Chain A
C-alpha cells in the first residue's frame, strides 16, 4: 500500500507542477493578479507531494519491502539503517526523486524569500522552475518509476547496496551535489524571466546573485566530498580522475564560477548583461547535460548509472526543449544595443572579464575532452579515450593564467584604475612571495622543484592580494565598530573563497609532486620506511561487520621511535553480493597523510600492501571547504535582504501588489 500511495503522491505533484508551469505565466500575459498569486502556493504544493513520495519510498527502504523493485535491487535486510536510507539515492530511480525533491525545495525557497520582488517576476521565475519540474517528474513517472513492484515474485532478500556506496561520505555527497546542480536552475529561471519580461537591467542580477552563490557553494562542497570519498574509498589514493561523471559535475562548477563573477559586474556596474544571461543559461544547461551523460549510457564511466537508451532519449528531448528554447528566446529577446556603461582596459571590469574568459575556455576544454570519444565514435573514426594527460595539459595552464589576476581583482577599482597603483600596492610583497617560493621549493626531498616554486608563487600571490585587501579595509577605518562593518559577509565570503582556491592549488601541486608510494609484499613483523616514517606490520586478523567479513592488517607507524599511529587497513567481503572492497587506513594531518591499502593476500602470512605518503593532500579539501562556505557566507549580506524588502524597484510596476 505504501508504494502505491507514493506513486499517487508523485502523480499529484506532477499535476500541480503542470499548473505551476502554466497558470502564473498565463497570468503575466493576461495581467491576471490572482493567477500570478497562485505561484507560491503551487510551488509549495509540489514540494509537499514530492516530499510525501520521498518519505514513502524511504519507508519502503527502512521496512525492507523487497516487493519494491528499487529496494530489492539496492538494499538488504542486513544493511545498517542509515545505509538503507541512503540506498534510496544510490540508484537511478531514487536519485531522480531526490533531484525533484531538491528542485521543489529550491522553488519553495524562492517563493518564500522573494516576497519583496515584483509579482510578475516571481510568477515568471516560479513558472520556469515549474516547467523544469514537469520535465523531471514526467521523466520519473514515465521511464523510471521508483515505486515499481516485483509482484508476485517478491524476492526474500535484497541484492544489497553497492559496497562502494556504503560509506558516510556517500550519504551526503549526492544531496549536496544535487543542491548545487539543481540550484543553478534558480539563476537560470531568473534569466529566462528577465528575457520574457524584456527587462535585462541590473535588478535581475541583484536578485539572482545570492541564489547563484548558494548553489555554486553547494556544488563546490558536493564536488569536494566526491573527491574525498574517491580518495579514501577506492583504495589507491587518487583524488581526481577526469572521469566523465566527475566532469559532468565539474563543468557546471566552472561555468558557475564565471557566472558568480559576471553577476558581480552586472549588478554593480550594469556591464556584460547579455553575457551574464547567457552564462546563467549555460550553467544550468551543463547541469542537464551532466544528467544526460550520467544516465543515458553514451559514455563509459566507472560510476555511470545503468545505461538505458530510452531514458537517454527522454532526457535528450527534454534537454533540447529547455536549452534550445532558452537559447532561441535569448536570440530573439536579448537587446542588440551594447550597454552604454563605459570602463577602461585597466579596471575591475576588465579583470572580471579575464576571469570569465578563462573559466569559459576551461569549461569548453573539459566539454571537448569529455565529448571527444563520442564525436569520434559518431563519425566512425574509431574508439578513443581522453585521459588525464589531455586535461592536465590544458587545464593546469589555464588556472595558472587566471591566478595572477586574482590578486589584483579584489584590490582594483571599478571603471578606471591605473597599473601604476597596482604596482605600488603589490611590488614589495610580490618580491617577498617570490623569495618565499624559491626557498620553500628547495626544501623538498629531491632538491629544487620548479612546479612547487610556481605553486607557492601563485598561491602566495593570491593569498597576498586577499590579505592586503583585508588589511587595507581594517586599517583605514577609524574605529572598531566601523572596522567590523567594513568586513561585510560578502567580503568575508570572497576572501575565504579566494584563499581556499589558493590552498587547493597548492595542495594539488604539492601532493602530485612530492607523493611517495610503494607497492610491497609485507609479512607479519616486516618493517618498511617511507617518507621518514617506519611502518611495521604487527599482526593479521579477521573482524566481522554487520554485513561483511573483513581481513585486517594491524600496522604501527613510528617516527624517531615515537608512535605516530596505529593503522588497520581492511579487505572486506560483503555477504550479499560477494564483492570485495578495499578499506584503506589513513592517518590524516594538515601537512601529510599516511595511507595504507591492502592488495591481495600472498601466501599464509603476507599481503601485497600499498604504502603512501601524501604531503598536503588535506589542503585540497580544506580549500574546497573554504570555497564552499565562502560562497554560502555571502548570502548573509544585509545588502540582499534590505534591497529586496525595503526599496521598491523603480520600474517594478506591480511591486506593491506582491504578497
Chain B
C-alpha cells in the first residue's frame, strides 16, 4: 500500500535518467550504422513515368538523393539551389516522401524539375529504411552506391561547399561526374 505512493517518484527518476542521457546526444547526427552501407533496396513507382523502379536505377553516380515533399516548406526554399546543382550536371535523385503524387507533379511542373528520377514513397517505407526523419534531407551516394554522407535541413551553397564538394569537384560541367574521391 505504502509502496504505491512512490510510483510517481519512480517514474520521474526514470524520465530524468532519460533526459540526462538525452543531453549528451546530438539530435541531428547521422546514425553511424547507416553510413557506409548501400542504399536500401526498394521497388517503387517513379513519379512522372509511373514505371516501377529499383535501387539499380540510381545511376549515374556519385549522386545526391534528396528527400522532399510538397508539404515541406523548407523544400521550397531549397528547390532553386537544387535546380542550379542539376544545371551543373550533378545527378540528383528525388525521394518524394509521404506526399501526394498529383501535387508533387504539379510542383515539378511549376517550379522546375532538378531530378533525374523520383522515387514515390507514399507510405514512407523507403524513408524508414533510409532512416529519414523529415524533409528536406540530402544523402550522398558514392560511385559504388554506398551512402557516405547525410545532411539534414536545407541544402545551400555554404553547406554544399563545406560538406559535399569533395565528392563533386568544382568546375564539373555536364554528364556523369568522374568518380574522383568517391572512395573517401
Nearest-CB distance from A485 to chain B (Å)? 42
Q: Which residues of A contact B21 (CB under 8 A)?
A: 378
Q: List 9 A-B contacts (CB under 8 A).
A: A292-B19, A296-B19, A299-B22, A300-B27, A324-B16, A328-B9, A374-B22, A383-B131, A519-B103
Judged by DSSP, the binding face of B is helix
Nearest-CB distance from B67 to chain A (Å)? 12
CA distance A316 to B140 in the complex (A): 37
Q: Which residues of A contact B77 (CB under 8 A)?
A: 580
Most buried by B among A278, A313, A384, A519: A519
A561 at the interface (CB under 8 A from B): no
Contact at B27–A331, with CB atoms within 8 Å? no
Q: Which residues of B contact A285 (CB under 8 A)?
A: 12
CA distance A389 to B70 in the complex (A): 17
Binary per-residue interface labels of chain B (1-25) against chain A in the complex, 1 for a CB within 8 Å, 0 otherwise: 1100110110011011011111111
Binary per-residue interface labels of chain B (116-138) against chain A in the complex, 1 for a CB within 8 Å, 0 otherwise: 00000000000000010110000
Contact at B8–A331, with CB atoms within 8 Å? yes
Contact at A378–B6, with CB atoms within 8 Å? no
Q: Which residues of A contact B5 (CB under 8 A)?
A: 330-332, 334, 336
With A373-B133, A382-B131, A602-B110 in contact, is A330–B23 under 8 Å at CB? no
CA distance A371 to B21 in the complex (A): 12
Nearest-CB distance from A448 to chain B (Å)? 23
Q: Which residues of A contact B18 (CB under 8 A)?
A: 371, 374-375, 378
CA distance A317 to B41 in the complex (A): 45
Contact at B133–A383, with CB atoms within 8 Å? yes
CA distance A299 to B12 in the complex (A): 19
CA distance A534 to B172 in the complex (A): 47
Contact at A296–B23, with CB atoms within 8 Å? yes
Binary per-residue interface labels of chain A (357-377) against chain B in the complex, 1 for a CB within 8 Å, 0 otherwise: 000000000000001011101
Number of inter-chain CB pairs below 8 Å: 100
B28 at the interface (CB under 8 A from A): yes
CA distance A600 to B75 in the complex (A): 12
Within 8 A of A (CB), among B39-84: 70, 73, 76-77, 79-80
B160 at the interface (CB under 8 A from A): no
Q: Which residues of A contact B134 (CB under 8 A)?
A: 385
- Which one, A234, A299, A521, contacts B73 given CB within 8 A? A234
A566 at the interface (CB under 8 A from B): no
Contact at B22–A313, with CB atoms within 8 Å? no
Contact at B22–A377, with CB atoms within 8 Å? yes
CA distance A92 to B33 in the complex (A): 35
Q: Which residues of B contact A316 (CB under 8 A)?
A: 16, 19-20, 23
CA distance A328 to B6 in the complex (A): 7
Q: Which residues of A contact B8 (CB under 8 A)?
A: 278, 281-282, 327, 330-331
Q: How large is the interface on A (under 10, 10 to 19, 20 to 34, 35 or more residues)?
A: 35 or more
- Which one, B27, B73, B76, contacts A377 given CB within 8 A? B27
Contact at A299–B27, with CB atoms within 8 Å? yes
Contact at B9–A331, with CB atoms within 8 Å? yes
B106 at the interface (CB under 8 A from A): yes
Most buried by A among B70, B110, B111, B134: B110
With A327-B9, A519-B70 in contact, is A298–B110 under 8 Å at CB? no
Nearest-CB distance from A512 to chain B (Å)? 14
- Which one, A320, A334, A599, contacts B76 given CB within 8 A? A599
B31 at the interface (CB under 8 A from A): yes
Within 8 A of B (CB), among A309-334: 309, 312-313, 316, 319-320, 323-324, 327-328, 330-332, 334
A470 at the interface (CB under 8 A from B): no
Q: Which residues of B contact A384 (CB under 8 A)?
A: 133
Contact at A298–B31, with CB atoms within 8 Å? no
Contact at B19–A297, with CB atoms within 8 Å? no
Q: Which residues of A contact B22 (CB under 8 A)?
A: 296, 298-299, 374, 377-378
Instruction: Please name the residue on chain A nearest to B7 by beta carbon.
Output: A331
Within 8 A of B (CB), among A574-618: 580, 599-600, 602, 608
Binary per-residue interface labels of chain A (280-309) against chain B in the complex, 1 for a CB within 8 Å, 0 otherwise: 011001000000100011111000000001
Q: Which residues of B contact A313 (CB under 8 A)?
A: 23
Contact at B9–A330, with CB atoms within 8 Å? yes
A236 at the interface (CB under 8 A from B): yes
CA distance A327 to B134 in the complex (A): 37
- Which one, A297, A324, A334, A599, contacts B13 given CB within 8 A? A324
A520 at the interface (CB under 8 A from B): yes
A235 at the interface (CB under 8 A from B): yes
CA distance A235 to B76 in the complex (A): 12
Contact at A298–B13, with CB atoms within 8 Å? no
With A234-B73, A236-B73, A521-B110 in contact, is A327–B12 under 8 Å at CB? yes
- Which one, B9, B106, B111, B133, contacts A385 given CB within 8 A? B133
Contact at A235–B73, with CB atoms within 8 Å? yes
**Besides the known contacts A297-B27, A371-B15, 18 further A-B residue pairs in the complex with CB atoms under 8 A apart:** A299-B22, A300-B28, A320-B16, A324-B13, A324-B16, A330-B8, A330-B9, A331-B8, A371-B18, A374-B18, A377-B25, A377-B27, A378-B21, A378-B22, A383-B133, A384-B133, A520-B110, A600-B76
- Which one, B24, B27, B107, contacts A373 given CB within 8 A? B27
With A323-B12, A331-B9 in contact, is A298–B19 under 8 Å at CB? yes
With A336-B1, A519-B103 in contact, is A324–B9 under 8 Å at CB? yes
Q: Which residues of A contact B25 (CB under 8 A)?
A: 298, 374, 377-378
Q: Which residues of B contact A319 (CB under 8 A)?
A: 16, 19
Nearest-CB distance from B13 to chain A (Å)? 7
